[in-house]
């Protein structure tokens, strides 16, 4: 039986562990952080993320490659969800792009970068259709539906991935050296048939020139009686690119900044004012919402902001998932498995 070592138990590491377990292989995961890293500033970026699965909407930032891989991943998520015993919230009920009527020309400019196949193209909505779909929105906004998009609840999904994968999980176990067929950690030097390096920013090195891109995010509890939000909503605005993502407990995530900085300190007043004002400008009932928590994290990004799989005999590195980890990880998981099969151990 193949013995697999995985460095990093964040999003990519957990998905790789699931996939290797499904091949019937013996899997060991070595993760620097604790099992449930609540509110730690250096936990996996995956814990902080909004969990949007938006291949078309992300074309603006990621281009056609992100779109193509995102579509493949979207098709894979229901199977992963089943493999995890449906123990996390996964909704494939579309997402909305909206704009203030006064910002329509800027929205049109952004929409020109979102050019998926005709089947996945943004569908313009009338004011009435938008109001029926999301009654919490301010009346008379411009709206477009992306019916093939989805979202999930990352914290639940991370726990479900771990609980559904029979592996030797070691937490609080930073890996100090990764080599083909070997991992070194507080457990000593361990030998494997194959190693996957999924350490996110922790995998930074000469041939992996990663940088961290700071993202700040707020979780709100809407006032009781205010209409719920049913799907992710992105505001197309010339200056403030805010999104709102519903959580199964009725909370709303408002995010996210994208700042070229590796500062891991608490969210700034400016980010708070800008994100929450922009959110309030489209959902007026948020005036009475309560701020439940805020979070920041660093997205692991390569110079072209695209992910990479590097394979050599005995070792695969997967990194650079940037702002698209949940969107792309299942396709990367499959591609990494294929690349491994084509490379001699």
Ligand X SMILES: Cc1cc2nc3c(=O)[nH]c(=O)nc-3n(C[C@H](O)[C@H](O)[C@H](O)COP(=O)(O)OP(=O)(O)OC[C@H]3O[C@@H](n4cnc5c(N)ncnc54)[C@H](O)[C@@H]3O)c2cc1C
Positions in the binding site for ligand X (CB under 6 A): 7-13, 30-33, 44-46, 48-52, 174-175, 198-200, 202, 215, 217, 255-256, 297, 299-300, 319, 321-327
Gap between the Cα atoms of 36 and 281, Å rounded: 35
Tell me the helices (H) and strands (E) count for the chain, helix number first. Answer: 8, 20
Gap between the Cα atoms of 144 and 134, Å rounded: 12
Gap between the Cα atoms of 265 and 63, Å rounded: 31
Return the number of other C-beta atoms located less than 10 Å from residue 100's C-beta: 18
Sheet with 90-91, strands from edge to edge, namely: 52-53, 150-152, 90-91
Q: Which is nearer to ligand X, 211 or 323 (CB)?
A: 323
Q: What CA–CA distances, in Å, run from 87 to 20, 71, 228?
A: 20, 23, 22
Q: Which is nearer to ligand X, 53 or 289 (CB)?
A: 53
Q: Which is nearer to ligand X, 226 or 327 (CB)?
A: 327
**Any idea of the CA torsion for 337, 343, 344, 345, to the nearest 10 degrees?**
-40
Give least dist CB 84 to ligand X, A: 17
Q: Which is nearer to ligand X, 226 or 307 (CB)?
A: 307
Q: Which is nearer to ligand X, 175 or 276 (CB)?
A: 175
Give least dist CB 341 to ligand X, A: 22
Gap between the Cα atoms of 280 and 333, Å rounded: 38
Please report which residue ranges of the chain form alpha helices under DSSP H: 11-22, 45-48, 59-83, 104-112, 127-133, 154-163, 269-282, 325-341
Q: Which is nearer to ligand X, 50 or 286 (CB)?
A: 50
Give least dist CB 142 to ligand X, A: 23
Give least dist CB 225 to ligand X, A: 28
3-state SS of the chain: helix, strand, coil percent to 5? 35, 30, 40
Give least dist CB 328 to ligand X, A: 7
Q: Which is nearer to ligand X, 214 or 237 (CB)?
A: 214
Give least dist CB 32 to ligand X, A: 4
Return the number of other C-beta atoms located less than 10 Å from residue 247's C-beta: 21
Give least dist CB 280 to ligand X, A: 19
């Amino acid at each position: 039986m193949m013995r697999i070592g995985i460095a990093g138990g964040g999003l990519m590491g957990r998905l790789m562990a699931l996939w290797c377990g499904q091949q019937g292989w013996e899997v060991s995961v070595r993760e620097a952080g604790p099992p449930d890293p609540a509110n730690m500033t250096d936990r996996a970026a995956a814990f902080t993320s909004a969990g949007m699965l938006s291949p078309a909407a992300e074309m603006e930032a990621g281009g056609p490659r992100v779109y193509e891989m995102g579509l493949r991943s979207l098709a894979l998520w229901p199977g992963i969800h089943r493999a995890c015993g449906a123990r996390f919230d996964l909704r494939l009920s579309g997402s909305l792009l909206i704009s203030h009527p006064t910002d329509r020309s800027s929205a049109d400019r952004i929409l020109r970068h979102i050019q998926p196949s005709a089947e996945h193209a943004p569908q313009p909505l009338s004011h009435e259709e938008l109001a029926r779909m999301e009654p919490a929105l301010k009346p008379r906004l411009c709206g477009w539906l992306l019916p093939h998009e989805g979202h999930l609840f990352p914290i639940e999904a991370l726990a479900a991935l771990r609980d559904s994968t029979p592996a030797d999980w070691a937490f609080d176990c930073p890996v100090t050296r990764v080599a083909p067929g070997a991992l070194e950690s507080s457990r000593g030097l361990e030998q494997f048939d194959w190693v996957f390096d999924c350490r996110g920013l922790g995998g930074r090195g000469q041939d992996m020139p990663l940088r961290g891109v700071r993202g700040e995010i707020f979780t709100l509890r809407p006032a009781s009686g205010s209409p719920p939000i049913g799907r992710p909503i992105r505001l197309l605005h010339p200056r403030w690119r805010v999104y709102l993502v519903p959580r199964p407990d009725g909370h709303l995530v408002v995010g996210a900044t994208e700042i070229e900085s590796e500062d891991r300190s608490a969210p700034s007043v400016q980010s708070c004012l800008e994100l929450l004002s922009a959110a309030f400008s489209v959902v007026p009932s948020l005036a009475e919402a309560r701020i439940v928590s805020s979070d920041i994290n660093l997205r692991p990004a390569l110079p072209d902001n695209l992910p990479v799989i590097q394979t050599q005999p005995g070792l695969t590195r997967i990194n650079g998932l940037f702002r698209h980890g949940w969107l792309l990880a299942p396709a990367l998981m499959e591609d990494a498995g294929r690349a491994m099969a084509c490379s001699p151990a």
